[in-house]
């Protein structure tokens, strides 16, 4: 993690033991799961899934959590209510990032795009502070 500078930082995901087992068959492992935030934008890898967007497309972000295991464990999840994508490795603490223009993530063809992404990074406050520095 970086301090208040604008360097690119890789944020690991916080894996709960039950989520680790549920994610394993989908290739979602600590070594294949991360979020990078820096002057070049946001890049996320969640096993085989990828998401990328520029800083100018980030509309805002806030903490979230309290997710149900069945709705979030295992692979990337699509919300049918708002088309958001969830990359979850625990149900307790996450960052929800909103986009001005929807981005690709769960569907490699790009037919499904997401107005937001939920990321269970290991240090949500540091991620949010870094994002604030980059987008002011």
pTM: 0.92
E strands in 18-110 = 33-38, 41-46, 49-53, 58-64, 77-78, 85-87, 94-104
Domain with 84 in it: 9-135
Domain-embedded: residue 2:
no
Domain-embedded: residue 1:
no
Residue 114's H or E segment, with its range, is strand 113-119
| CA dihedral over 10, 14, 19, 20, signed as positive or negative | positive
The pLDDT value recorded for residue 6 is: 63
Domain-embedded: residue 47:
yes
Question: Please, are residues 44 and 117 in contact by the beta-carbon 8 Å criterion?
Answer: yes
Domain-embedded: residue 37:
yes
Domain count, the chain: 1
Tens of pLDDT, residue by residue over 42-94, are 999 999 999 999 999 999 999 999 999 999 999 999 999 899 999 999 999 99
Domain-embedded: residue 3:
no
């Amino acid at each position: 993690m970086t301090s208040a500078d604008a360097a690119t930082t890789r944020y690991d995901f916080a894996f709960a033991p039950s989520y680790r087992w549920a994610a394993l068959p989908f290739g979602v492992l600590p070594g294949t799961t991360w979020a990078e935030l820096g002057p070049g934008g946001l890049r996320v890898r969640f096993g085989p899934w990828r998401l990328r967007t520029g800083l100018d497309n980030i509309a805002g972000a806030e903490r979230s959590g309290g997710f149900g295991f069945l709705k979030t464990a295992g692979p990337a999840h699509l919300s049918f209510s708002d088309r958001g994508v969830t990359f979850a490795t625990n149900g307790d603490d996450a960052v929800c990032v909103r986009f001005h223009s929807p981005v690709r993530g769960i569907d490699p063809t790009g037919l499904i795009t997401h107005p937001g992404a939920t990321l269970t990074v290991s240090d949500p406050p540091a991620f949010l502070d870094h994002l604030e520095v980059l987008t002011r």
